[in-house]
Amino acid sequence: MEIIKQVRALRRIIEKKQIAGEKLAFIPTMGALHSGHLSLVEIGNQYADTSICSIFVNPSQFNNKNDLLKYPRSLPQDINLLKANHCDILFAPSEQEVYPPGLNTQINLDLAHLEDLMEGEFRPGHFRGMLEVVKRLLDIVSPDYLIMGQKDFQQFTLVNHMIRQLQLPVELIIAPTQREKDGLAMSSRNQRLSPEMRQKAALIYQNLLKIQDGIKQIPTQNLESLAAEKLSQAGLRVEYVQIVDGNSLQKVSEPENHEYIVVCLAVWAGEVRLIDNLILKGGWK
Ligand code: AMP
């Protein structure tokens, strides 16, 4: 695996590969890698000749300074994991490389309220920062395929929106959420959970499954409040549980009138904020 820190060096390698007709798959991450990230690399390798993973903890998507400071970093271990999982190139740039002085990287795009709902309500500015870094990285890497996880459902919905609006020449591939044995979605943040909160966090997936079971018989609002109540009773602090249309992200009250429905939630388990989701009907196209 080649480890590249500078944009110019990466561009030289990529241009050679593109001239040789190779297809490139790109997997952007913030590091502290786990099996969920590695499943994206595996998918990238299935689609393309070369897999390029980036590790960059992007300051512009953190609305909470403390979250940014506490975000886990483990580059030496990440390098070993990527090597063992057949990643071809690791791009690990500095902030200067991603945001060189004088380059305007901000995204001027109508986000059709997709950024204001759910995560957007609790993390103002997060999605503009996320889109800023994804667009900048896409400009640098110019991949054929962009591999992202369903785990961050609203994130890939916004990235899909940006790709369509700007007509970016890249195909977005969504990878299923990888879970621990008890159903907890793998996340770099899980390592910060206390043993007690780690145990409670398993309730998140259990409640998503209950909503899936009930979606045909029970009103969506009741399903949402029942799940929120169960999670709160266990000592998790619920920010939202919402059953939404997968395209517009607007709340769903009559499931029969929608083709694509997703339940999304965010909770605090002690000091750690966790998100998860489950597709209840239809799917992403
Ligand atoms: P992050 O490093 O958290 O920004 O995540 C980088 C990419 O990995 C994003 O596309 C995430 O959606 C994806 N990802 C994170 N956790 C998982 C998981 N448990 N299963 C599959 N993909 C994941």
- For 205-220, the pLDDT digits (tens) are 999 999 999 999 999 9
Q: Is the minimum distance from the CB of 146 to ligand 1 under 6 angstroms?
A: no
Atom of ligand 1 nearest to the CA of 185: 19
DSSP the chain: -EEE--HHHHHHHHHHHHHTT--EEEEEE-SS--HHHHHHHHHHHHH-SEEEEEE---GGG-S-HHHHHHS---HHHHHHHHHHTT--EEE---HHHHS-TT---------TTTTTSTHHHHSTTHHHHHHHHHHHHHHHH--SEEEEETTSHHHHHHHHHHHHHTT-S-EEEEEPPPB-TTSPBP-GGGGGS-HHHHHHTHHHHHHHHHHHHHTTTS-HHHHHHHHHHHHHHTT-EEEEEEEEETTT--B-S-GGG-S-EEEEEEEEETTEEEEEEEEEES---
Q: Is the minimum distance from the CB of 187 to ligand 1 under 6 angstroms?
A: yes
DSSP lists the bridge partners of residue 174 as 148
Nearest CA to ligand 1 atom 7: 29
C-alpha closest to that of 115 among 154, 153, 148, 150: 154
Cβ contact 154:239 at 8 Å: no
What percentage of the chain exceeds 90 in pLDDT?
Answer: 96
> Whole-model pTM above 0.95?
yes
Cβ contact 47:22 at 8 Å: no
- To test the ligand 1 pocket, which listed residue (37, 70, 81) has its Cβ within 8 A of the most ligand atoms? 37
State the pLDDT at residue 80. 98
145-149 and 89-91 strand pairing: unpaired
Nearest CA to ligand 1 atom 8: 37
Q: Is the minimum distance from the CB of 177 to ligand 1 under 6 angstroms?
A: yes
Mean pLDDT by 10 residues, the chain (285 residues): 98 98 98 98 98 98 90 96 98 98 95 93 94 98 98 98 97 98 97 97 98 97 98 98 97 96 98 96 88
Nearest CA to ligand 1 atom 13: 149
Measured CA to CA, the distance from residue 23 to residue 25 in angstroms comes to 7
Q: What separation in Å is there between the alpha carbon of 147 and the centre of ligand 1?
A: 10
Catalytic residues: 37
DSSP lists the bridge partners of residue 269 as 272
Q: Is the minimum distance from the CB of 40 to ligand 1 under 6 angstroms?
A: yes
State the pLDDT at residue 67. 87
State the pLDDT at residue 285. 74
Q: Is the minimum distance from the CB of 157 to ligand 1 under 6 angstroms?
A: no
State the pLDDT at residue 112. 84
Q: Is the minimum distance from the CB of 185 to ligand 1 under 6 angstroms?
A: yes
Contacts of 207 (CB under 8 A, 6+ apart): 227, 230, 231, 241, 265
State the pLDDT at residue 213. 97
